[in-house]
Amino acid sequence: MITLENVSKTYGGTSGIVALRDVSIHVKEGEFLVILGPSGAGKSTLMRCINRLVEPTSGRILLDGREVTSRRRQLRAARRDIGMVFQQFNLVKRLSVLMNVLSGRLAYHTFWPSLLYKFDQDDKRVAIECLTRVNMEHKAFQRADTLSGGEQQRVAIARALAQEPKVILADEPVASLDPKIARQVLTYLKQIAGELGITVLCNLHQVEYAREYAERVVGLSQGTVVFDGPSGKLTDDILQQIYYRDPEAADDDG
């Protein structure tokens, strides 16, 4: 479903910061994969390379067998297949929950129907279905900024689902949430992979969540994959490698 072949990313020219170093990962359809690593490990860069917000310095990325490139038409098609979920939810605060979820349908329209606030019945049906999946349909007409953090993240997940993506990239989706709420959100994301067959990549920095929710974990340390396997095999040794910090880089905290 998603294949990264020897992907490297250096920011700021050849003498710059190496954010990813020769990363190769193959993710199957419907897999729930956790990318685990401390701040600065390269997790966000990895996701941004997949949706081409960042151009890899070298290597290839394939989505559903097709190479993702920065060519406009291919990129638009690839981005339609990729739903995003962020740490800070990124909802439009003054719009209703339903309008936020409907905005996930925009990839399917040539013109921006939101400018006219006109979505068709089909769009609305999909949006409500997506809200129902995260148990938020009862708040469809509430303004987004009246929701708690956990509720906002559930709406953000519904918005990603409304896009009918093949892949969801969730970049530290629970980093701003209390443990109990964080676990709820991770449960939804895992269900989405298992029940809808959507491939979910989830960046996390907490080992305990990776242990509880991931089937498979990719451990990143300073841009390098140091582990790729079932969460049950995350030994203390491996965790030390993942969370190892180069003393030379100790003061540039991310």
- Candidates 23, 33, 34, 42: give the one binding ligand ADP (CB under 6 A): 42
Residue 165 engages ligand ADP in binding (rule: CB under 6 A): no
Give whichever of 43 and 133 is closer to ligand ADP, judged by the CB atom.
Answer: 43
Asked whether position 199 contacts Mg ion by CB under 5 A, the answer is no
Q: With CA atoms as reference, report the closest residue to 146 among 184, 96, 188, 112.
A: 96
What is each CA distance from 197 to 167, 190, 239, in whole angstroms?
A: 9, 10, 29
3-state secondary structure labels for all residues of 20-35: EEEEEEEECCCCEEEE
Taking the complex as a whole, the smallest distance from the CB of residue 43 to Mg ion amounts, in Å, to 5
Question: Which residue in 7, 25, 40, 136 binds ligand ADP (CB under 6 A)?
Answer: 40
The C-alpha atoms of residue 64 and residue 82 are separated, in whole angstroms, by 11
CB of 73 to ligand ADP, least distance (A): 26
| CA–CA distance, 41 with 37 (Å, rounded to integer) | 6
- Shortest Cβ distance from residue 38 to Mg ion (Å)? 10
Which of 84, 42, 36, 43 is closest to 212 using CA atoms?
36
19 is a contact residue toward ligand ADP (CB under 6 A): yes
Binding site for ligand ADP (CB under 6 A): 11-12, 17, 19, 37, 39-45, 254
Binding site for Mg ion (CB under 5 A): 43-44
